[in-house]
Amino acid sequence: MSARSHRPTLPQQRRPLGRLAAVVLTTAALTATAVLPAGAAPATKTPDPAAQHSIRAGVSDQNFYFVMADRFNNGTTTNDAGGLGSDPMVSGFDPTRKGFFNGGDLKGLQDRLDYIQGLGTNALWLTPSFKNKAVQGDGTVANSSAGYHGYWVTDFTQIDPHLGTNAELKTLIDAAHARGMKVYFDIITNHTADVIQYQETQSAPYISKETEPYRTAAGDVFDDRDYAGTQDFPALDPATSFPYTPVVPAAEKDVKVPSWLNDPTLYHNRGNTNFAGEDSLYGDFFGLDDLFTENPTVVNGMMDVYKTWIRDFGIDGFRIDTMKHVNDEFWQQFGPQVLSYAKEQGKDEFFMFGEVFDTSKSITSTFTTRNKMQAVLDFGFQGAARSFASQGSKATGLADFFNGDDWYTDADSNVYQLPTFLGNHDMGRIGTFIAEDNAGASDTELLERDELAHELMYFSRGNPVVYYGDEQGFTGAGGDQDSRQTLFASKVQEYLDDDLLGTNSTHATDNFDTGHPLYRKISELAALTAEHPTLRTGAQQNRYAADDAGIYAFSRIDAKDQREYIVAVNNSETAQTAAIPAYEAKQPFNLVYGDAAAHAKTDAQAKLSVTVPPLSAVVYEAAGRLAKSKAAPAVVLKKPVTAAGDASRAKVTADVDGSSFYEVTFQSRTAGGEWQAIGTDDNAPYQVFHDVSSLEAGTSLEYRAVVLDNRGQTSASEPRSGVVGEPTQPESVTVAGSLNTELGCAEDWQPSCEQALMTYEPTHRLWQLNVPNLPAGTYEFKAALNGTWDENYGAGGELDGANVVFQHSGGAVTFLYDHATNVISAAVAGQQPAAVSVPGSLNTELGCAGDWMPDCAQAQLSLDTVDGLWKLSVPNLAAGSYEFKAAINGSWAENYGLGGAPNGSNIAVKHDGGPVTFRYDPASHLVTTR
Q: List residues with catalytic annotation.
A: 321, 355
Beta strands 351-354; 375-376: pairing state: parallel
Task: Please tell me whether residue 146 adopts helix, strand or coil conformation.
Answer: strand
Rounded CA separation 554/572 (Å): 17
Distances (CA, A) of 456 to 443, 449, 522, 565, 894: 20, 11, 11, 14, 20
> Buried b / exposed e across 288-305, counting CB within 10 Å, b at 16+?
bbbbbbbbbebbebbbeb
- Classify residue 406 by its DSSP letter: G
870's enclosing H/E stretch is strand 869-877
Cα dihedral across residues 383, 617, 458, 73: positive or negative: positive
Distances (CA, A) of 567 to 271, 388, 404, 455, 461: 50, 15, 19, 10, 12
Task: Please tell me whether residue 560 adopts helix, strand or coil conformation.
Answer: coil
Rounded CA separation 316/352 (Å): 9
Would you say 656 and 633 are in contact if contact means Cβ atoms under 8 Å apart? Answer: yes
Helix axes 166-178, 296-313, angle to 10 degrees: 60
CA angle 410–411–414, rounded 5-degree value:
45
Would you say 633 and 20 are in contact if contact means Cβ atoms under 8 Å apart? Answer: no
- Classify residue 482 by its DSSP letter: G
Instruction: Outline where 122-224 has alpha helix (H).
Output: 166-178
Rounded CA separation 245/572 (Å): 59
Beta strands 135-137; 144-146: pairing state: antiparallel
Helix axes 296-313, 328-344, angle to 10 degrees: 30
Would you say 185 and 308 are in contact if contact means Cβ atoms under 8 Å apart? Answer: no
Chain center to CA of 369: 14
Q: How many CB atoms lie within 10 A of CB 533?
A: 14
Would you say 740 and 721 are in contact if contact means Cβ atoms under 8 Å apart? Answer: no
**Adjacent-strand bridge partners of 723:** 700
Rounded CA separation 152/191 (Å): 8
Q: Is the peptide bond before 685 cis (omega within 30 degrees of 0)?
A: yes
- Classify residue 743 by its DSSP letter: H
Task: Please tell me whether residue 5 adopts helix, strand or coil conformation.
Answer: helix
Closest CA to 625 of 695, 559, 669, 685: 559
**Adjacent-strand bridge partners of 895:** 887
Rounded CA separation 575/197 (Å): 61
Q: How many CB atoms lie within 10 A of CB 829?
A: 16
> Buried b / exposed e across 354-366, counting CB within 10 Å, b at 16+?
bbbebbbbbbbbb
Rounded CA separation 837/870 (Å): 9
